[in-house]
Amino acid sequence: MTRLLIAPLIKAAEDRLSHLGSPAQDAEMLFRGITGMSRAALLANSGEVASTEDAERFEEALRRREGHEPIQYILGVAAFWRDDFVVNRSVLIPRLETEILIEAVAKRTSHSHAAALLDLGTGSGCIVLSLLRELPLARAMAVDRSASALEVAAENARRLGLTSRVALRLSRWFDAIEPGSTFDAIVSNPPYVARGDQAELPREVRDFEPEMALFADASDDLSSYREITRDVVRHLKPAGLLAFEVGQGQASGVADLVAAAGLGSIEILDDLARIPRVVVGRRP
């Protein structure tokens, strides 16, 4: 491969990604991710020649991005809350709106005692591990029905030094939770996209993210919430918290399910786009 100056190499990449929404940002993120350069280092060295190895790896990354593969999967890492998380196609890419869930639970959970947390459908572990970072005395259990997702969560726990504070289990919701186990807070970002909306999703989501983590049952986009709320009270301590992330237009329906489960003090919290995104309830 012909050796190229960094700046023209990135500019050529930007042209190749012009069919995407943010070609300049994507090209720079890919190059920095491949090389490990900070933005300041990239600007300072833009007139230098890219190494053959970097140019080859950048070319492979570009080919993948041209096909709409998300940058986070290409680089194998996604920024969320205060940390970077390992991701692959076994798990959803952490999203900014999910940080509303972290903020809500951390704010409403005591920092002064060893709170017990449960994360249902943990995926990469980004929710439960971020909460453990915010609640230094807390311990957690996290479940997922995907063994490959749990491998990713275990790697993230290891990288963040949290392995001793979180137990990972293969389970569909509460199936593998002992009947007498109760928690101070239960959190979940369950599958909530309606199957009928599949064609409308961006290709980055529809073609690459795991269907198991995305889609609710075909006939009921609130099916995951119904399953969880059916059994949640028996696993919540008195005054225990339940917090869900929800899809657009689902907040009132989920709030009704939470209320029907016997929880009170129900709140609906908006994300930064003023879309109702989190439903919180508390056991009396």
The per-residue pLDDT for 1 is 46
In Å, how far are 76, 137, 205 from 85, measured between CA atoms? 8, 22, 18
Q: What is the pLDDT of residues 237-280, one digit of tens each?
A: 999 999 999 999 999 999 999 999 999 999 999 999 999 999 99
Measured in residues, the chain has a length of 284
Residue 74 maps to a domain? no
The per-residue pLDDT for 46 is 77
Separation between Cα atoms, residue 91 and residue 200, nearest integer Å = 20
Please check whether residue 265 is in contact with residue 281, taking contact to mean a CB–CB distance below 8 angstroms.
yes
Q: Do residues 15 and 106 both lie within one domain?
A: no
Q: Is 268 strand, coil or helix?
A: strand
Q: Is 273 strand, coil or helix?
A: coil
Separation between Cα atoms, residue 69 and residue 46, nearest integer Å = 26
Separation between Cα atoms, residue 161 and residue 142, nearest integer Å = 16
The upper half-sphere exposure of residue 27, i.e. CA atoms within 13 Å in the direction of its Cβ, equals 19
The per-residue pLDDT for 118 is 98
CATH number of the domain bearing residue 113: 3.40.50.150
Q: Do residues 103 and 61 both lie within one domain?
A: no
What number is the average pLDDT over the span 103-115? 93
Separation between Cα atoms, residue 18 and residue 27, nearest integer Å = 10
Q: What is the pLDDT of residues 134-163, one digit of tens each?
A: 999 999 999 999 999 999 999 999 999 999
Burial of 192 (0-12, 13-18, 19+ CB in 10 A): buried
Residue 34 maps to a domain? yes
Residue 250 maps to a domain? yes
Whether 86 shows a pLDDT value over 70: the answer reads yes
Q: What is the pLDDT of residues 2-27, one digit of tens each?
A: 568 889 899 999 999 999 989 999 99
* Position 205, amino acid: V
Q: Do residues 34 and 167 both lie within one domain?
A: no
Q: Do residues 98 and 239 both lie within one domain?
A: yes
Q: Do residues 127 and 265 both lie within one domain?
A: yes
Separation between Cα atoms, residue 88 and residue 153, nearest integer Å = 11
Residue 76 maps to a domain? no
Instruction: Name the H helices within the chain.
Output: 6-16, 23-35, 39-44, 52-66, 71-75, 99-108, 126-134, 147-159, 203-206, 211-214, 223-231, 251-260
The per-residue pLDDT for 140 is 98
pLDDT > 70: percent of the chain:
99
Please check whether residue 192 is in contact with residue 212, taking contact to mean a CB–CB distance below 8 angstroms.
no
Split into its structural domains, the chain has a count of 2
Please check whether residue 94 is in contact with residue 124, taking contact to mean a CB–CB distance below 8 angstroms.
yes
The per-residue pLDDT for 41 is 86
Q: Do residues 148 and 196 both lie within one domain?
A: yes
Separation between Cα atoms, residue 267 and residue 16, nearest integer Å = 46
Q: Do residues 62 and 98 both lie within one domain?
A: no
Q: What tokens appear for 83 in the block?
A: 């940390």
| Structural domain that includes position 42 | 6-67
Q: Do residues 248 and 117 both lie within one domain?
A: yes
CATH number of the domain bearing residue 13: 1.10.8.10
The full DSSP string for 157-178 is HHHTT-GGGEEEEE-STTTTS-
